[in-house]
Structures are given as structure tokens and as C-alpha cells.
Amino acid sequence: MNKVEGVIFDWAGTTVDFGCFAPVNAFINIFKDEGIEVTMEEARAPMGLLKIDHIRAMLDMPRISALWKEKFGRGYNEQDVEKLYANFEKGLMASLSEYTDPKPEVVETINTLRNNGLKIGSTSGYTQMMMDVVVPEAAKKGYSPDFYITPDDTDSLGRPYPYMIYRNMEKLTLSAAKNVIKVGDTIPDFGEANSAGVWAVGVVVGSSEMGLSSEEFDALSKEEQEAIIETTAQTFLQNGADFTINTMGELPQLIEKINILIAEGKRHNAK
């Protein structure tokens, strides 16, 4: 088949939780509990990774690493990571159901894709326990992919490893990587797509990379909105995205463009 057969979506920041705030707040709080103030930017930087890997990435940041050594008189160890992760999980689980609203245009776009015969898959940096909250809550609000998987089912090998995408392809019987699109809102999403050899698409507005709530975004002037959209899109394209869309409603039209490229035998970066 020489066209797109399936689209694999990320969850928070891509299809639900505009701005990806559920995990960010939890990451900030676990460090605060240890007496270390981390910034919103630091908490967001590794977004998209398996959450325990995200904590390790934050602890490896020079500023946070220095603060940790200053506070505890030593570098962090695996016991520290596990303690922080347990606290993260507890904090996230307490608030997760509040961050499951589908982003604008998601439900309508998924319906359009399904009507066009496409399969809908998904991957996440969340664990199975977290998704046990997110999936049914999102379904109540109209968003339910055909398949989802977490790093728990790939021996904790989350992004940028390609295995969650491969599991989607197997489950949804997608014939080839060239006929699959991964849509995400973080750099690890594109790393995952690139590792799997599928098309990588970044959705800009409401992304973790943009880092704004819907209220904050709506409060910007049109010029400010355009500037932050452009900055975020460039970050995506410089870090592995083949294409960007501002909002999910643009995806069906982009798929038509990608179908032409597939038919012509072209691949990534053939923009």
C-alpha cells in the first residue's frame, strides 16, 4: 500500500492536557519537597521520556546537580531517583484525572481519520498505572485510540527507542514504517519516530515545548501567538520532526500531502 495507514499519537500535550501540565507540576513539587527549586523550563526539558528517566535527566542538569550536591553534600544515587519517582507517582496520580480533557480539534480529527480508514494508535511516557486513569477519563470525553501502550510493556525501553511504535504497528497490522505517522509535542516523540523510521509530525499549539496553558495562549496578541508558534515549530524541525502543524485540525490535509510523497517514493525531510 502506498499511502498512510495509521497515525500514532502521544498523549499529554498532544491529544489531551493542553500544555502538558500534569507531569510538570508533579516534577516541580518533588524537587521542592527536597528543598530544591527547579524552574518550569527545567521540569519540561526532558518531557516525553519515561518518567523515571525524566527524573534522572533533571538530576543530571548542571544547575540542579550543583544544588543537589550543595544540599546533600554528594551526587545523587539510584536510591534518590527511586524516592523522587515514588513521590512523583503519588503526586501525579492524585491530580491526573483533572488533566484528561482532549485538546481542541482532537476528537473531530480522529473521527475524520477513522472515516478515511486510518487506524489510530498511541504511545506514552506515562506508566500503565497512570494510563489506567487517563485512558478511561479521556474516553468519557470522546477520545479513545484503537490501541495504546506504555514503556511497561517494552521492558521500560521508552522513547527514543522505537519499540512502542513497533507494538502499535503489529497490533494495528500496519504494513510498513513509511505508511505510518507519529504525532507528538516533544523532542523525544520525534526521536521515537526517527528510530522507528516513521513520519514525525509535531503539533505546536498546546504542546509541552510551547509550555503555555490555553488561557495564557489566548491572552497573547496575534503577533505574539505567531512568534511563539514559529519558534516552537523551528525547534521541532531542528530536532527530528518532518512536518509541523499548528493544531490537530490541520492533520488530515497534511496526510494528503504525505500520501503524495509516499506515492512518489520520497521520504523524510521531503518538505
pLDDT per residue as tens digits for the range 42-99: 999 999 999 999 999 999 999 999 999 999 999 999 999 999 999 999 999 999 999 9
φ, ψ of residue 42 to 5 degrees: the values are -65, -40
CATH code assigned to 21-98 = 1.10.150.240
Annotated binding-site positions for Mg(2+): 10, 12, 185
Strand bridging mode 119-122 / 6-9: parallel
pLDDT at 271 exceeding the cut of 60: no
Residue 180, helix vs strand vs coil: strand
pTM of the full structure = 0.94
| pLDDT at residue 267 in the model | 73
For the stretch 209-234, pLDDT in tens is 999 999 999 999 999 999 999 999 99
| pLDDT at residue 266 in the model | 81
Annotated binding-site positions: 10, 12, 185
Active-site annotation holds for 10: yes
The H or E element containing residue 122 is strand 119-122
Active-site annotation holds for 51: yes
pLDDT at 270 exceeding the cut of 90: no
The H or E element containing residue 202 is strand 199-203
**6-20+100-263 maps to CATH 3.40.50.1000:** yes
Q: Which of 10, 17, 53, 242 is catalytic?
A: 10
φ, ψ of residue 159 to 5 degrees: the values are -60, 145
Name the H helices within the chain.
21-33, 40-44, 51-59, 62-72, 78-95, 106-115, 128-140, 163-171, 187-196, 214-219, 222-238, 251-263
Q: Which of 51, 119, 178, 182 is catalytic?
A: 51
| pLDDT at residue 268 in the model | 57
Q: Give the start-to-end residue ranges of the domains of the chain.
A: 6-20+100-263, 21-98
